[in-house]
C-alpha cells in the first residue's frame, strides 16, 4: 500500500540518510527495525510546514504541546521491544501515529491510546491511508492501560511516568516486556521490565526526556 504514495525522491533520500547516519551508524542493529524505518514515510506524520525536517536528528512539535520523538529514540525503543512479528502490543501515547505505524509493521496487532481525541483521530486517518488494518485506536487515560484487550506481549509508553504502574504490569502476558521513560517530569530513564523463566528483570537503556503522560498513574495536568 505504501508504495502507492506519491513521495518526492527527496523524501526517500532523506529517509535513507536517516537510517544510515542516525540509526545504523549509532548502533541500531535490528534489521527489521531498520527496514521498517526505511519504509514508513515519517514526513506524513509531521505538520506540513515541518516536512523538510521530518528526517532530521531531533524531535518535532506535532501540536498541542506534544512531540514526535527523535528518530534514533524511536529506533532504540522499537529495537528494545525485540519484536518478531507475532506480538500483541499496547502503545500508550499515540501522538502523531509514527511509532504506531512502526509497531504495526513489526508486530501482529497494535492497540494504541491517547488522551487527545484530536491527535488520535489524525493518527487513525494517517494509518488508514497507509493501509494499516491491525491497529485499534482508543481515547482515554492510558496510564490505566486498555484492560479490555489485555494481555499484551509488549507495552510501550511514549510519554513519561513517575513510576511503573502495577495496573500496566498486570496487563502483560507471561513473557511480556514493558518499556517506559520513568523518572522526573523533565528527565527520565528508559526502563525495560521483562518477564521470563527467571522471573522479573529490569534494565535501563539510558537517559531520556519525554513529554509527560497526564493521568491517574502519570502526572497532573
Q: How far is the CB of 86 from ligand SAH (least distance, A)?
A: 22
In whole angstroms, give the CA distance from residue 196 to residue 64. Answer: 39
Judge whether 159 and 94 are in contact, CB under 8 Å.
no
How many CB atoms lie under 10 A from the CB of residue 41? 18
Which residues between 144 and 183 bind ligand SAH (CB under 6 A)? 158-159
How far CA 161 is from CA of 38, 54, 180, 185, 215, in Å, comes to: 30, 26, 7, 8, 9
Q: Is 69 a catalytic residue?
A: yes
In whole angstroms, give the CA distance from residue 216 to residue 121. Answer: 23
Among 71, 93, 176, 183, binds ligand SAH (CB under 6 A): 93
Q: How far is the CB of 131 from ligand SAH (least distance, A)?
A: 18
Q: How far is the CB of 38 from ligand SAH (least distance, A)?
A: 17
Which residues between 27 and 56 bind ligand SAH (CB under 6 A)? none
Per-residue contact track with ligand SAH, 106 to 135, x per CB under 6 A? -------xxxx--x----------------
CA–centroid distance for 92 within its chain: 8
> How many Cα neighbours within 13 Å face the side chain of 47?
12
Give the active site residues: 69
| Residues in contact with ligand SAH by the rule CB under 6 A | 62, 66-69, 92-93, 95-96, 98-99, 113-116, 119, 141-143, 158-159, 211, 213-215, 218
Amino acid at each position: 500500500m505504501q508504495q502507492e504514495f506519491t513521495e518526492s525522491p527527496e523524501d526517500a533520500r532523506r529517509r535513507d540518510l536517516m537510517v544510515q547516519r542516525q540509526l545504523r551508524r549509532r548502533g541500531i542493529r535490528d534489521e527489521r527495525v531498520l527496514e521498517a524505518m526505511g519504509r514508513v514515510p515519517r514526513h506524513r506524520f509531521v505538520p506540513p510546514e515541518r516536512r523538510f525536517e521530518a528526517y532530521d536528528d531531533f524531535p518535532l512539535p506535532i501540536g498541542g504541546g506534544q512531540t514526535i520523538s527523535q528518530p534514533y529514540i524511536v529506533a532504540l525503543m522499537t529495537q528494545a521491544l525485540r519484536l518478531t512479528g507475532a506480538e500483541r502490543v499496547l502503545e500508550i501515547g499515540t501522538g502523531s501515529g509514527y511509532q504506531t505505524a512502526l509497531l504495526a509493521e513489526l508486530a501482529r496487532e497494535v492497540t494504541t491510546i491517547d488522551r487527545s481525541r484530536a491527535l488520535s483521530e489524525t493518527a487513525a486517518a494517517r494509518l488508514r491511508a497507509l493501509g494499516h488494518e491491525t491497529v485499534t485506536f482508543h481515547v482515554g487515560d492510558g496510564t490505566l492501560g486498555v484492560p479490555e484487550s489485555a494481555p499484551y506481549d509488549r507495552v510501550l509508553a511514549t510519554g513519561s511516568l513517575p513510576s511503573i504502574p502495577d495496573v500496566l504490569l498486570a496487563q502483560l502476558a507471561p513473557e511480556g516486556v514493558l518499556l517506559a521513560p520513568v523518572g522526573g517530569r523533565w528527565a527520565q530513564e528508559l526502563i525495560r521490565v521483562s518477564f521470563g523463566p527467571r522471573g522479573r528483570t529490569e534494565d535501563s537503556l539510558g537517559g531520556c526526556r519525554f513529554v509527560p503522560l497526564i493521568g491517574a498513574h502519570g502526572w497532573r495536568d
